[in-house]
Structure 1
Amino acid sequence: MIRLKEEHLRELFNRTIKNEDIQTVFQPIISLKDGELLGYEALSRGPSNTPLQNPEKLFSYAMEYDQLWELEFLCRAKALESAHMLHSQGKLFLNVNPNIMSDPKFRQGFTREYLSRYKFEANKIVFEITEKEAVSKLFHFKKTVDHYKEQLYQIAIDDVGSGYSGLNIITDIHPHFMKLDMKLIRQIDSDAIKQSLVKSLCEFADLSQISIIAEGIETKEELCKLIDLGVEYGQGYFIQKPKSVLLPIRDDLVEIIVVENKCKRYISLNRKTDTSVGNISTPLPTLGVTTLVDEVKSTMDQDSTLPGCCIVDQNRLVGVITRNQLHYKISGTYGYSLYNKRKIHEIMDTNFLQVDRNTPIHMVAKLAMMRDSNRLYDFITITKDGQYYGIVTVKELLEKSMEIEINVAKHMNPLTELPGNVLIEQQLQLCIDSTDRYGILYLDLDNFKPYNDVYGFENGDQVLMHLAHLLEEIVSPHDFIGHIGGDDFIIVASSEKCVPYSEQIIEQFDATITRFYTQDDVEVGWIGSKNRHGKDELFPLMTISIAVIFKSHFQSTYELAKEGSKVKKQCKQMAGSNYLISKE
């Protein structure tokens, strides 16, 4: 009976390959910044209502029957054909077994002629390599990947976070994308360890110029947390299930993404002074790949201030040549005569630092300082939408970085390192000018002065720093926290978050404030000190009052602050920790 079943499965599999009975379904990958489509992952299914419909079983039988190559080739061909027929937009992600990429037959499937049949350019194809597959002969595999990169194909490492080999592969082949395993994404909104890991991977990806894609997003909460952590792209059932047709991204989903990205925590200074590297870039003369070395030398001789030249092919940046690199090549007894009639692409540097114009200046500075010592002072190239935009020198980069740091430091509270009154004023004005629904929380500690009098200013500072850290843990990085001064703080957030924030702050403050008192004072529940008139009085332990103001009719920050002061005063008259919402 078992043998008959095995023979039936083998016959079914062979018939599937022979009849090309493979269906391609597509799952969109979208930006978690604005909901824009990045592309689709092509997924293959076997014949409907058979054991081979499940892709895991389909590929498992292919390996068992030694027909993995035949199945993968068929799946890729069907994916390209279906994507062409459906007029798919963006990139096409194709799953590839890394151990067959160097096979000559694989290369034949991705020639210009083959792709032109389906109207695809190489830069629209992303080879998705799973880290679960053992990569034999890593050195040769890296050379193969480099070959495809040179042909403008892109590389994604799949299932990052599901095993132990992925980071090794990432550092060896430097892919364009890292796809986080769905097990890492599941319930990430309630798992601090997963959040910490993903945040670290995002920082690593930023420094390495790799884009992160989160797979398997199934809930709104997971999506919002991934946006909060800075993940760039996402896919999963909450976004859209795999379909055999291409459907538009839901409007309500785009709205969620846009709303979550609306407010940025420290946007005040950055919106007044844009810190993107594109703002300090300057255009540099570009040369074509066929320009002769002698012409390049003449260009640089005519302008001694030029640090070098950028080499473009149809406005796509393909290389650079610095002044020092050119002089090194043509110097010596025979250097000039050897190279002067050669084309510049023969000696240009293709291993240069290239960043998008929207990359923050501080991030570009980090990338520049991570280069080899012999490249440390080479200029950095800037692109916009993949096209050449300009350059920035290391000197300009470091000067601007220092200027930004000084400006930020001037406006931060020295104790808590939160934005001070200048940035708070700017943030409130942005809030008033915006058409979005914002809320403002004014926070004030009750009985803080008596505590300072009894326990001293150093302990009082510890309480303020504790509250600042508590706020940073509760409030999303996309929302704004400011320190007005003394024991007064402010939060600006989307209106639906204000009440949950207030409840969490009160709960955690009340649960932790007793650690700053002696055990005796905690047990009696009060401390003795002098009141404002110099008379002895008993004061309860510190509590917190929060005035909640929803932006509505205010015409100025003065009106807003005045309303906040009035509501906060009313709230402080209530016993214990409380929040009070302004009556609009």
Structure 2
Amino acid sequence: MATNPSDSSMNDRDHTLLRNEMLEILRNQSIHSVYQPIISLKNGTVLGYEALTRGPENSPLHSPLTLFSYAEQEGMLYRLDRLAREKAIHGAFLARKNELLFINISAAILYDPLFVPGKTLEMLEAHGIQPGQIVFEITERSSIEDFSMAQKILEHYRHQGYRIAIDDAGAGYSSLQAIAELQPDFIKVDKSLIQDVYRSKTKEAIMESFVSFAQKLNIQIIAEGIERQEELLYLTRMGVHFGQGYLLGRPGTEKAVVAPELAESIIQQRKIRDNIGSAWTIGDLITATATFDSKALISEVASYFKNNLHAPGVVIVSNDVPVGLMMRESLFQQLAGQYGFSLFWNRSIDQIMDKQPLIVDEHTPVENVSQLATSRDINNLYDLVVITSKGKMAGACSIRSILECITNARMESAKVASPLTGLPGNIQIHRELSKRLLEKKGFSVIYADLDYFKWFNDRYGFQKGDQLIQYTADVIQQSLFACGLPHDFVGHIGGDDFIAITSSDEPEKLCKEIIRRFDQGVRLLYEGDDWLYVEDRNGNKVDNAGVTISLSLIICGTAESVTLEQISQASAKLKKMSKEHPGSIYHCACIGDGDYV
């Protein structure tokens, strides 16, 4: 059995053997790195790899946690850390110039006099790696005592092009302080917050907070320890940027290949998220904005602003493609200097324009543009957002119009959404069904309601009843994410009644998935009770093992004659049929024209 270096009962002989083992490892450089991929939760591509150090096989110091803990205890941490960095860089196999290599460093290493950029830079150049591809992960478990000094050291590295990550966020003592003081490029959220996040409202709320403030600070979130499909779907839906874990790829020594079905699932879930509540696109907010050719004289633009006092800015174009932005205030600030007019008056506008304005396609959801716009530098926060159509100049919009649009949309949504589940209510459901019928394309409607919900509510109380309603909402949404399409819809009719509208070619598969997920998890709400019977609304005993779910599937063809009334009547008939059978079940009917069976 391996000796635990932190065991206080370890005798002198064991201590000597372990110290000799440590010295032998350093002398022979007998550690190696394995590399775990970090995957984009937007498109399923590889962002980069985290280098993970391993000690010799069959050694009590094989585990990295044991290895580094003992090295720190014995005053050998600096030597071990330098060796680990060398091994990580030496074995790296970055496939593209934009792939990143994440290297773990302890906070204590920042004060190593030999922890200097020159040495690391030499190793990188020898292996064809740029400093911009290296991310130093500072583990949150080793506290930083002097943030002022750490800031200076890390700023020096940033100037060289290196990036910074805070590791294990949420697992230790000073996550928020480290994030606030060091302003990292990445936050790696500890596995303890990721595990079963889809079952824990507390973990979900914490993750949503991480994502929210990370967007405001222009920081990227990496979720560690993803091992289940449900965790991946939940995190993707929440807007987490990247993921890492056994589900996405185990540590190894070869280039990672993301399974096509996994990448497709990630892309689909992100599309669903991006379209939730995004009925408005930025194209809806386009306003006509003056344009000038990139070679137009600065004097021409200045004259335009003088004659158009309410114009906040103009877009600079080349062959009708936006290439820059010139805001009124910025132009006159530059001209107001001592030699402003003489220096700039007869020069072309492309010499002083903002060459990196925010340019978005007209179909981008307003919510997405808002996040991009508000994460800009404070000096550009209120600059116009340039909008294109098929790559060509279409117009622009102001931050004010974007924020007003979002505020109005959220107020409208809040008025009609279910206060318990947050899902769209009856007004939005009616709109969605009407829109689908006007499109004259095939779609399917699934009505869901719970059997013996009143019995459950009476037996366990209203709080548990609310949990069951929320659980059902989660099941339907997760099933739609797994088997549906990006523009599918879920609504809460009221009480224990829900509706799903899908364009999937396999709606029956979706019904089976809802039933599977519901039956699999509902027993967790019974507090350990086993039920052989339940009671109906009249108090009569019915042989049933608890609450079940009944589904009515209506497959709507493309005929113009299909109406909301037909859908409603078909649903009522199917619901009655489902209620006559015990257990979770679905019944199906087809209305209108279409190639359905």
Same structural fold, with TM-score higher than 0.5 when normalized by the shorter chain: yes
Q: Is residue 242 of structure 2 the alignment partner of residue 233 of structure 1? A: yes
Tell whether the 8 Å contact from 2:93 to 2:254 is kept in structure 1 after alignment: no
TM-score in terms of structure 1 length: 0.68
Q: Judging changes above 3 Å, is the alpha-carbon distance between structure 1 residues 575 and 266 closer, same or farther for their aligned structure 2 residues?
A: farther
Q: Which amino acid aligns with 1:582?
A: C
Paired position in structure 1 for 2:116: 106
Query: How many angstroms apart in 1 are the aligned matches of 2:197 and 2:411?
Result: 36
- Identity, % of aligned positions: 30
Paired position in structure 2 for 1:582: 588
Q: Which amino acid aligns with 1:581?
A: H
1:273-324 CA distance string (max 9 Å, x none): 545899889898899xxx9xxx9955743653573799xxxxxx9x998542
Tell whether the 8 Å contact from 2:135 to 2:164 is kept in structure 1 after alignment: yes
Q: Is residue 552 of structure 2 the alignment partner of residue 548 of structure 1? A: yes
Q: Is residue 457 of structure 2 the alignment partner of residue 441 of structure 1? A: no
Tell whether the 8 Å contact from 1:411 to 1:420 is kept in structure 2 after alignment: no
User: How do 1:381-392 and structure 2 match up within 5 A?
Assistant: none
1:378-429 CA distance string (max 9 Å, x none): 445899xxxxx99753255346547866997999899947623232344578
CA RMSD of aligned residues (A): 5.6
Q: Judging changes above 3 Å, is the alpha-carbon distance between structure 1 residues 403 and 300 closer, same or farther for their aligned structure 2 residues?
A: farther
Q: Judging changes above 3 Å, is the alpha-carbon distance between structure 1 residues 276 and 362 closer, same or farther for their aligned structure 2 residues?
A: farther
Q: Helix, strand or coil for the counterpart of 2:51?
A: strand
Paired position in structure 1 for 2:461: none
Gap regions ≥5 residues in structure 1: 311-316, 384-388, 447-464, 511-521, 527-542
User: How do 1:486-501 and structure 2 match up within 5 A?
Assistant: 490-492=499-501, 494-500=510-516
Q: Which amino acid aligns with 2:399?
A: V
Paired position in structure 2 for 1:362: 367
Q: Is residue 399 of structure 2 the alignment partner of residue 394 of structure 1? A: yes
Query: How many angstroms apart in 2 are the aligned matches of 1:471 and 1:546?
Result: 12
1:420 to 413, 423, 429: 429
Q: Helix, strand or coil for the counterpart of 2:253?
A: coil
Tell whether the 8 Å contact from 1:283 to 1:391 is kept in structure 2 after alignment: no
Paired position in structure 2 for 1:134: 143
Q: Which amino acid aligns with 2:189?
A: L
Paired position in structure 2 for 1:192: 201
Q: Helix, strand or coil for the counterpart of 1:83?
A: coil
Q: Is residue 307 of structure 2 the alignment partner of residue 301 of structure 1? A: no
Q: Helix, strand or coil for the counterpart of 1:119?
A: coil
Q: Helix, strand or coil for the counterpart of 1:225?
A: helix
Q: Which amino acid aligns with 1:91?
A: L
Q: Is residue 125 of structure 2 the alignment partner of residue 119 of structure 1? A: no
1:460-494 CA distance string (max 9 Å, x none): xxxxx999978645542756223679998522364
When structure 1 is superposed on structure 2, of 15-24 and 35-44 the one drifting more is 15-24
Cα distance, 1:119 vs. partner?
1.7
Q: Which amino acid aligns with 1:253?
A: L
Q: Which amino acid aligns with 1:572?
A: K
Q: Helix, strand or coil for the counterpart of 2:477?
A: coil
Q: Judging changes above 3 Å, is the alpha-carbon distance between structure 1 residues 396 and 341 closer, same or farther for their aligned structure 2 residues?
A: same
Q: Helix, strand or coil for the counterpart of 1:204?
A: helix
Tell whether the 8 Å contact from 1:207 to 1:367 is kept in structure 2 after alignment: no
Tell whether the 8 Å contact from 1:278 to 1:382 is kept in structure 2 after alignment: no
Q: Which amino acid aligns with 1:476?
A: Q
User: How do 1:277-316 and structure 2 match up within 5 A?
Assistant: 298=299, 300-301=301-302, 303-304=304-305, 307=313
Tell whether the 8 Å contact from 2:552 to 2:587 is kept in structure 1 after alignment: yes
Query: How many angstroms apart in 1 are the aligned matches of 2:63 and 2:35?
Result: 15
Q: Judging changes above 3 Å, is the alpha-carbon distance between structure 1 residues 486 and 285 closer, same or farther for their aligned structure 2 residues?
A: farther
Query: How many angstroms apart in 2 are the aligned matches of 1:306 and 1:60?
Result: 58
Q: Which amino acid aligns with 1:57?
A: T
Cα distance, 1:4 vs. partner?
4.2
Gap regions ≥5 residues in structure 2: 1-9, 306-310, 317-322, 389-393, 453-465, 482-487, 503-509, 527-535, 541-546, 590-596
Q: Judging changes above 3 Å, is the alpha-carbon distance between structure 1 residues 366 and 81 closer, same or farther for their aligned structure 2 residues?
A: closer
User: How do 1:301-380 and structure 2 match up within 5 A?
Assistant: 301=302, 303-304=304-305, 307=313, 322-328=327-333, 330-331=335-336, 360-362=365-367, 364-365=369-370, 377-379=382-384
User: How do 1:47-58 and structure 2 match up within 5 A?
Assistant: 47-58=56-67
1:200-256 CA distance string (max 9 Å, x none): 322332333322211112233333333343333211122222112234223453355
Query: How many angstroms apart in 2 are the aligned matches of 1:237 and 1:333?
Result: 62
Paired position in structure 2 for 1:462: none
Count of residue pairs the alignment pairs up = 518
Query: How many angstroms apart in 1 are the aligned matches of 2:162 and 2:285?
Result: 26
Query: How many angstroms apart in 2 are the aligned matches of 1:47 and 1:466?
Result: 50
Tell whether the 8 Å contact from 2:33 to 2:54 is kept in structure 1 after alignment: yes
When structure 1 is superposed on structure 2, of 74-83 and 352-361 the one drifting more is 352-361
Query: How many angstroms apart in 2 are the aligned matches of 1:341 and 1:78?
Result: 57
Tell whether the 8 Å contact from 2:425 to 2:492 is kept in structure 1 after alignment: yes
Q: Which amino acid aligns with 2:477?
A: S
Q: Judging changes above 3 Å, is the alpha-carbon distance between structure 1 residues 345 and 568 closer, same or farther for their aligned structure 2 residues?
A: same
Q: Which amino acid aligns with 1:397?
A: I
Paired position in structure 1 for 2:456: none
1:16 to 5, 10, 25: 25
Tell whether the 8 Å contact from 2:215 to 2:371 is kept in structure 1 after alignment: no
Q: Which amino acid aligns with 1:106?
A: V
Q: Helix, strand or coil for the counterpart of 1:129?
A: strand
Query: How many angstroms apart in 1 are the aligned matches of 2:560 and 2:414?
Result: 23
Q: Which amino acid aligns with 1:331?
A: A
Q: Which amino acid aligns with 2:23?
A: N
Tell whether the 8 Å contact from 2:515 to 2:549 is kept in structure 1 after alignment: no
When structure 1 is superposed on structure 2, of 392-401 and 243-252 the one drifting more is 392-401
2:575 to 571, 576, 580: 571
Tell whether the 8 Å contact from 1:211 to 1:232 is kept in structure 2 after alignment: yes
Q: Judging changes above 3 Å, is the alpha-carbon distance between structure 1 residues 546 and 306 closer, same or farther for their aligned structure 2 residues?
A: same
Tell whether the 8 Å contact from 2:440 to 2:559 is kept in structure 1 after alignment: no
User: How do 1:445-524 and structure 2 match up within 5 A?
Assistant: 472=473, 474-476=475-477, 480-482=489-491, 490-492=499-501, 494-500=510-516
Cα distance, 1:161 vs. partner?
0.9
Q: Helix, strand or coil for the counterpart of 2:53?
A: strand
